Amino acid sequence: MEEDDFISKTRRKREMRDLQDVGAALVELSEAELARLDLPESLLDAVLACKRITKHEARRRQVQFIGKLMRNVDAAPIAERLRALEAPTQRDTALLHLAEKWRQELIGDPGAMARFKQEFPEADQDHLANLVKGALEERRTSRPPKFFRELFHAVNTLVQDHARRNS
């Protein structure tokens, strides 16, 4: 064995643990998401079997087995697709920021409701006005932000629906 080929026992263990972590993440996916990943049949069978196991120790051993199977597979593309599934898209993040911006404008600027209604004609203006009024009252009286959160959810739903219709 050449010196360049030497891999320490610690590094091998870390790599195996990383493969087990990828396998554990696969177990958490739905069957539809697993089907889109185009996994080798033996790996897919092991993951599906693990989903049916309820006993902690048996499940742990099955995850170890999945990690062992992954040694024979190129795990990098699988891990990359998992990261892509878990990470919110830039579009999703931008829509959340837009919803937050609208919430802040609706609370801080009395003229924002008219602009919001122009951009989102399907919005229930009365309901939003009540939420804004409640959020302002909460802020004034230092109460928990129930209306503040509800306003965000209402605005976010409108922004998301509008983006879906226009995409």
Q: What is the CATH number of the domain that holds 123?
A: 1.10.60.30
* First CA to last CA distance, the chain: 57
Handedness of CA 129, 160, 103, 121 (dihedral sign): negative
CATH number at residue 17: 1.10.60
Express each pLDDT in 16-36 by its tens digit.
898 889 989 999 988 888 888
User: Do 99 and 159 fall within a single domain?
Assistant: yes
Same domain membership, residue 94 and residue 36 = no
Number of domains in the chain: 2
Tens of pLDDT along 102-124? 999 999 998 999 999 999 999 99
Q: Based on the fold, state whether residues 45 and 58 are members of the same structural domain.
A: yes
pTM exceeding 0.85? no
Statement to judge: residues 101 and 148 lie in one domain: yes
Is the pLDDT assigned to residue 167 strictly greater than 70? no
Ranking 62-76, 85-99, 107-121 by mean pLDDT, the lowest is 85-99
Are 16 and 76 in the same domain? yes
Domain finish residue from 38, 54, 86: 86
Last residue of a domain, one of 86, 105, 121: 86
Cα 161 from Cα 164, distance rounded (Å): 5
Indicate if 101 and 151 belong to the same structural domain: yes
Give the domain range for residue 109: 90-165
- Output the pLDDT for position 4: 63
